[in-house]
Structure 1
Amino acid sequence: MMKTQRKVLVALTLMTAGLLSACSPEDGSSAVKTVTATVSAAPTSAEESRPAPTASPAGAAPTSEAPTVSFSMPNEVGKGLQEAQDDVQAKSGNPLFVTGSDDATGAGRAQVLDRNWKVCSQSVAPGTAINEDTRISFGAVKLTENCPS
Protein backbone atom coordinates (compact mmCIF):
# COMPACT_ATOMS: atom_id res chain seq x y z
CA MET A 1 0.00 0.00 0.00
CA MET A 2 1.37 3.42 -0.90
CA LYS A 3 2.20 5.93 1.79
CA THR A 4 -0.54 8.36 0.69
CA GLN A 5 -3.20 5.64 0.67
CA ARG A 6 -2.10 4.52 4.13
CA LYS A 7 -2.49 8.08 5.48
CA VAL A 8 -5.97 8.36 4.00
CA LEU A 9 -6.96 4.96 5.39
CA VAL A 10 -5.73 5.90 8.87
CA ALA A 11 -7.56 9.24 8.70
CA LEU A 12 -10.81 7.57 7.62
CA THR A 13 -10.48 4.96 10.37
CA LEU A 14 -9.99 7.66 12.99
CA MET A 15 -12.94 9.64 11.65
CA THR A 16 -15.17 6.57 11.74
CA ALA A 17 -14.13 5.73 15.30
CA GLY A 18 -14.79 9.32 16.35
CA LEU A 19 -18.21 9.38 14.73
CA LEU A 20 -19.19 6.09 16.33
CA SER A 21 -18.16 7.27 19.78
CA ALA A 22 -20.06 10.54 19.24
CA CYS A 23 -23.24 8.61 18.48
CA SER A 24 -23.33 6.70 21.74
CA PRO A 25 -21.97 8.52 24.79
CA GLU A 26 -21.03 6.08 27.54
CA ASP A 27 -22.32 8.27 30.38
CA GLY A 28 -25.86 8.39 28.96
CA SER A 29 -25.74 12.14 28.41
CA SER A 30 -26.97 13.78 25.25
CA ALA A 31 -23.73 15.64 24.66
CA VAL A 32 -22.54 15.68 21.09
CA LYS A 33 -18.84 15.29 20.37
CA THR A 34 -17.35 16.94 17.33
CA VAL A 35 -14.67 15.12 15.41
CA THR A 36 -12.61 17.02 12.91
CA ALA A 37 -10.00 15.46 10.68
CA THR A 38 -7.89 17.00 8.02
CA VAL A 39 -6.36 14.86 5.34
CA SER A 40 -3.76 16.31 3.08
CA ALA A 41 -1.80 14.04 0.88
CA ALA A 42 0.73 15.27 -1.59
CA PRO A 43 1.56 13.04 -4.52
CA THR A 44 4.71 11.03 -3.94
CA SER A 45 5.71 10.80 -7.59
CA ALA A 46 5.13 12.52 -10.90
CA GLU A 47 2.86 9.63 -11.96
CA GLU A 48 0.39 10.46 -9.21
CA SER A 49 0.25 14.15 -10.14
CA ARG A 50 -2.81 15.09 -12.11
CA PRO A 51 -3.42 18.48 -13.71
CA ALA A 52 -6.12 20.60 -12.13
CA PRO A 53 -9.34 20.88 -14.10
CA THR A 54 -9.46 23.89 -16.37
CA ALA A 55 -12.23 26.45 -16.41
CA SER A 56 -14.80 26.58 -19.21
CA PRO A 57 -14.06 28.96 -22.07
CA ALA A 58 -15.45 32.46 -21.62
CA GLY A 59 -19.13 32.61 -22.49
CA ALA A 60 -19.59 28.84 -22.42
CA ALA A 61 -22.44 27.61 -20.28
CA PRO A 62 -21.42 24.95 -17.75
CA THR A 63 -22.97 21.56 -18.38
CA SER A 64 -24.02 19.34 -15.52
CA GLU A 65 -25.66 16.59 -17.54
CA ALA A 66 -23.91 13.56 -18.94
CA PRO A 67 -24.26 13.01 -22.68
CA THR A 68 -27.35 11.07 -23.65
CA VAL A 69 -26.77 7.63 -25.15
CA SER A 70 -28.91 7.05 -28.22
CA PHE A 71 -29.31 3.88 -30.26
CA SER A 72 -31.64 2.24 -32.73
CA MET A 73 -34.10 -0.21 -31.21
CA PRO A 74 -33.40 -3.72 -32.52
CA ASN A 75 -36.11 -6.20 -33.55
CA GLU A 76 -36.34 -8.63 -30.63
CA VAL A 77 -39.55 -10.46 -31.60
CA GLY A 78 -38.94 -14.22 -31.78
CA LYS A 79 -35.85 -14.12 -29.57
CA GLY A 80 -35.60 -15.47 -26.06
CA LEU A 81 -36.55 -12.88 -23.44
CA GLN A 82 -33.13 -13.02 -21.75
CA GLU A 83 -31.39 -12.72 -25.15
CA ALA A 84 -33.56 -9.70 -26.02
CA GLN A 85 -32.75 -8.00 -22.71
CA ASP A 86 -29.02 -8.70 -23.17
CA ASP A 87 -29.18 -7.36 -26.74
CA VAL A 88 -30.77 -4.06 -25.63
CA GLN A 89 -28.12 -3.69 -22.93
CA ALA A 90 -25.30 -4.37 -25.41
CA LYS A 91 -26.69 -2.00 -28.06
CA SER A 92 -27.26 0.76 -25.53
CA GLY A 93 -23.77 0.40 -24.10
CA ASN A 94 -25.27 0.45 -20.63
CA PRO A 95 -25.24 -2.77 -18.62
CA LEU A 96 -27.84 -1.30 -16.23
CA PHE A 97 -30.37 -0.48 -18.96
CA VAL A 98 -33.69 -1.92 -17.71
CA THR A 99 -36.48 -3.40 -19.80
CA GLY A 100 -39.88 -4.62 -18.65
CA SER A 101 -41.92 -7.64 -19.69
CA ASP A 102 -45.38 -9.05 -19.25
CA ASP A 103 -47.31 -12.19 -20.09
CA ALA A 104 -48.48 -11.82 -23.71
CA THR A 105 -51.32 -14.31 -23.07
CA GLY A 106 -52.95 -11.91 -20.60
CA ALA A 107 -52.78 -14.50 -17.81
CA GLY A 108 -50.59 -12.19 -15.72
CA ARG A 109 -47.81 -14.71 -15.12
CA ALA A 110 -44.49 -13.33 -13.89
CA GLN A 111 -41.39 -13.87 -15.99
CA VAL A 112 -39.29 -15.21 -13.13
CA LEU A 113 -36.74 -17.11 -15.23
CA ASP A 114 -36.32 -14.99 -18.38
CA ARG A 115 -34.52 -17.79 -20.23
CA ASN A 116 -37.79 -19.79 -20.23
CA TRP A 117 -39.71 -17.09 -22.14
CA LYS A 118 -39.70 -15.78 -25.73
CA VAL A 119 -40.58 -12.33 -27.05
CA CYS A 120 -43.87 -11.97 -28.95
CA SER A 121 -44.05 -8.16 -29.05
CA GLN A 122 -42.12 -5.07 -28.06
CA SER A 123 -43.39 -1.66 -27.00
CA VAL A 124 -40.86 0.24 -29.13
CA ALA A 125 -40.82 -0.42 -32.87
CA PRO A 126 -37.57 -1.72 -34.42
CA GLY A 127 -35.43 1.09 -35.84
CA THR A 128 -36.82 3.74 -33.47
CA ALA A 129 -34.11 6.02 -32.04
CA ILE A 130 -34.22 5.73 -28.27
CA ASN A 131 -32.10 6.69 -25.26
CA GLU A 132 -31.60 5.51 -21.68
CA ASP A 133 -34.83 7.22 -20.57
CA THR A 134 -37.01 5.25 -23.03
CA ARG A 135 -39.14 2.58 -21.36
CA ILE A 136 -39.08 -0.71 -23.25
CA SER A 137 -41.42 -3.59 -22.49
CA PHE A 138 -41.62 -7.02 -24.08
CA GLY A 139 -44.74 -9.19 -24.35
CA ALA A 140 -43.61 -12.78 -23.81
CA VAL A 141 -44.85 -16.37 -23.57
CA LYS A 142 -43.15 -19.52 -22.32
CA LEU A 143 -40.79 -21.14 -24.84
CA THR A 144 -43.20 -24.07 -25.41
CA GLU A 145 -46.15 -21.77 -26.16
CA ASN A 146 -47.26 -19.97 -29.31
CA CYS A 147 -47.50 -16.21 -29.38
CA PRO A 148 -51.09 -14.92 -29.39
CA SER A 149 -52.26 -13.62 -32.73
Structure 2
Amino acid sequence: MLKIALPIRFGIAISAGLIAYFLVLALFGLHTNPLFSLFNGVITGFGIYEAIKFYKLSKGKDFEYGDGFSVGVVTGFVATIIFTAFFGLYAGNINPEFLSNMITAWETTYNTSLGSVIFVVAIMGFATSTVLTLSFMQLFKPSWNLKKKPKTSQA
Protein backbone atom coordinates (compact mmCIF):
# COMPACT_ATOMS: atom_id res chain seq x y z
CA MET A 1 0.00 0.00 0.00
CA LEU A 2 2.80 2.40 0.88
CA LYS A 3 4.51 1.80 -2.44
CA ILE A 4 1.62 3.29 -4.48
CA ALA A 5 0.08 5.70 -1.97
CA LEU A 6 3.37 7.47 -1.28
CA PRO A 7 4.10 8.44 -4.92
CA ILE A 8 0.55 9.64 -5.43
CA ARG A 9 0.70 11.77 -2.29
CA PHE A 10 4.07 13.29 -3.19
CA GLY A 11 3.04 13.64 -6.86
CA ILE A 12 -0.01 15.67 -5.87
CA ALA A 13 2.17 17.86 -3.63
CA ILE A 14 4.70 18.42 -6.44
CA SER A 15 1.97 19.31 -8.92
CA ALA A 16 0.45 21.73 -6.41
CA GLY A 17 3.85 23.41 -6.09
CA LEU A 18 4.26 23.56 -9.88
CA ILE A 19 0.78 25.02 -10.36
CA ALA A 20 1.30 27.57 -7.59
CA TYR A 21 4.65 28.61 -9.10
CA PHE A 22 3.07 28.94 -12.55
CA LEU A 23 0.22 31.05 -11.21
CA VAL A 24 2.61 33.33 -9.30
CA LEU A 25 4.56 33.84 -12.52
CA ALA A 26 1.28 34.52 -14.35
CA LEU A 27 0.38 37.10 -11.72
CA PHE A 28 3.48 39.09 -12.68
CA GLY A 29 3.21 38.34 -16.42
CA LEU A 30 6.37 36.22 -16.43
CA HIS A 31 4.75 32.89 -17.31
CA THR A 32 5.37 33.38 -21.05
CA ASN A 33 9.16 33.37 -20.55
CA PRO A 34 10.41 29.76 -20.92
CA LEU A 35 13.51 30.54 -18.85
CA PHE A 36 11.44 30.51 -15.67
CA SER A 37 10.40 26.90 -16.33
CA LEU A 38 13.89 25.82 -15.24
CA PHE A 39 12.74 26.21 -11.63
CA ASN A 40 10.13 23.50 -12.33
CA GLY A 41 13.02 21.04 -12.23
CA VAL A 42 13.97 22.24 -8.77
CA ILE A 43 10.42 21.80 -7.51
CA THR A 44 10.09 18.38 -9.12
CA GLY A 45 13.53 17.31 -7.95
CA PHE A 46 12.86 18.28 -4.36
CA GLY A 47 9.60 16.31 -4.34
CA ILE A 48 11.11 13.21 -5.91
CA TYR A 49 14.08 13.34 -3.53
CA GLU A 50 11.78 13.60 -0.53
CA ALA A 51 9.56 10.76 -1.78
CA ILE A 52 12.52 8.40 -2.22
CA LYS A 53 14.00 9.47 1.12
CA PHE A 54 10.70 8.89 2.92
CA TYR A 55 10.31 5.50 1.26
CA LYS A 56 13.87 4.49 2.20
CA LEU A 57 13.33 5.54 5.82
CA SER A 58 10.12 3.53 6.00
CA LYS A 59 11.70 0.40 4.48
CA GLY A 60 14.95 0.52 6.43
CA LYS A 61 17.28 -2.34 5.52
CA ASP A 62 14.67 -3.80 3.15
CA PHE A 63 15.10 -0.86 0.75
CA GLU A 64 15.92 -1.99 -2.78
CA TYR A 65 17.08 0.01 -5.79
CA GLY A 66 14.19 -1.06 -8.02
CA ASP A 67 11.57 -0.10 -5.47
CA GLY A 68 13.15 3.30 -4.84
CA PHE A 69 13.42 3.90 -8.58
CA SER A 70 9.76 3.04 -9.14
CA VAL A 71 8.71 5.34 -6.29
CA GLY A 72 10.65 8.23 -7.81
CA VAL A 73 9.41 7.68 -11.37
CA VAL A 74 5.77 7.20 -10.38
CA THR A 75 5.95 10.31 -8.19
CA GLY A 76 7.27 12.38 -11.09
CA PHE A 77 4.81 10.90 -13.57
CA VAL A 78 1.82 11.63 -11.31
CA ALA A 79 3.00 15.23 -10.90
CA THR A 80 3.56 15.55 -14.66
CA ILE A 81 0.13 14.22 -15.56
CA ILE A 82 -1.64 16.57 -13.13
CA PHE A 83 0.43 19.61 -14.14
CA THR A 84 -0.01 18.84 -17.86
CA ALA A 85 -3.79 18.64 -17.38
CA PHE A 86 -3.72 22.01 -15.61
CA PHE A 87 -1.49 23.50 -18.31
CA GLY A 88 -3.87 22.31 -21.03
CA LEU A 89 -6.85 23.76 -19.16
CA TYR A 90 -5.05 27.05 -18.60
CA ALA A 91 -3.75 27.44 -22.16
CA GLY A 92 -6.95 26.23 -23.77
CA ASN A 93 -9.71 27.75 -21.64
CA ILE A 94 -8.54 30.14 -18.94
CA ASN A 95 -6.10 32.20 -21.03
CA PRO A 96 -6.39 31.34 -24.74
CA GLU A 97 -3.91 34.09 -25.70
CA PHE A 98 -1.20 32.48 -23.56
CA LEU A 99 0.01 30.15 -26.28
CA SER A 100 0.36 32.88 -28.90
CA ASN A 101 2.20 35.10 -26.39
CA MET A 102 4.56 32.31 -25.38
CA ILE A 103 5.68 31.27 -28.86
CA THR A 104 5.74 34.59 -30.71
CA ALA A 105 9.24 33.87 -32.05
CA TRP A 106 8.07 30.66 -33.75
CA GLU A 107 4.57 31.77 -34.67
CA THR A 108 5.35 32.81 -38.24
CA THR A 109 7.66 29.89 -39.00
CA TYR A 110 5.92 26.93 -37.39
CA ASN A 111 2.29 25.99 -37.01
CA THR A 112 2.24 25.17 -33.30
CA SER A 113 -1.02 23.90 -31.91
CA LEU A 114 -2.15 23.57 -28.31
CA GLY A 115 -1.91 19.80 -28.55
CA SER A 116 1.73 19.84 -29.59
CA VAL A 117 2.67 22.21 -26.77
CA ILE A 118 0.84 20.04 -24.23
CA PHE A 119 2.64 17.00 -25.64
CA VAL A 120 6.01 18.74 -25.23
CA VAL A 121 5.17 19.76 -21.66
CA ALA A 122 4.31 16.14 -20.83
CA ILE A 123 7.46 14.73 -22.47
CA MET A 124 9.63 17.29 -20.67
CA GLY A 125 8.03 16.32 -17.34
CA PHE A 126 8.47 12.59 -17.94
CA ALA A 127 12.10 13.04 -19.01
CA THR A 128 12.88 15.29 -16.06
CA SER A 129 11.31 12.82 -13.65
CA THR A 130 13.28 9.89 -15.06
CA VAL A 131 16.63 11.68 -15.09
CA LEU A 132 16.19 13.11 -11.60
CA THR A 133 15.16 9.71 -10.24
CA LEU A 134 18.21 8.06 -11.78
CA SER A 135 20.39 10.78 -10.28
CA PHE A 136 18.88 10.60 -6.82
CA MET A 137 19.02 6.82 -6.69
CA GLN A 138 22.81 7.11 -6.87
CA LEU A 139 22.59 8.76 -3.46
CA PHE A 140 20.15 6.26 -1.99
CA LYS A 141 21.39 2.95 -3.32
CA PRO A 142 23.23 0.72 -0.89
CA SER A 143 26.98 0.70 -1.25
CA TRP A 144 28.72 -2.43 -2.46
CA ASN A 145 32.03 -1.32 -1.02
CA LEU A 146 33.23 -3.89 1.43
CA LYS A 147 34.76 -2.69 4.62
CA LYS A 148 38.16 -4.15 5.18
CA LYS A 149 38.95 -5.54 8.54
CA PRO A 150 42.17 -4.24 10.02
CA LYS A 151 44.90 -6.82 9.96
CA THR A 152 46.08 -7.90 13.34
CA SER A 153 49.78 -8.42 13.65
CA GLN A 154 50.94 -11.57 15.26
CA ALA A 155 54.35 -10.71 16.62
Range into which the TM-score falls when normalised by the shorter chain: under 0.3
Larger radius of gyration: 1
| TM-score, scaled to structure 2 | 0.22
More helix as a share of residues: 2
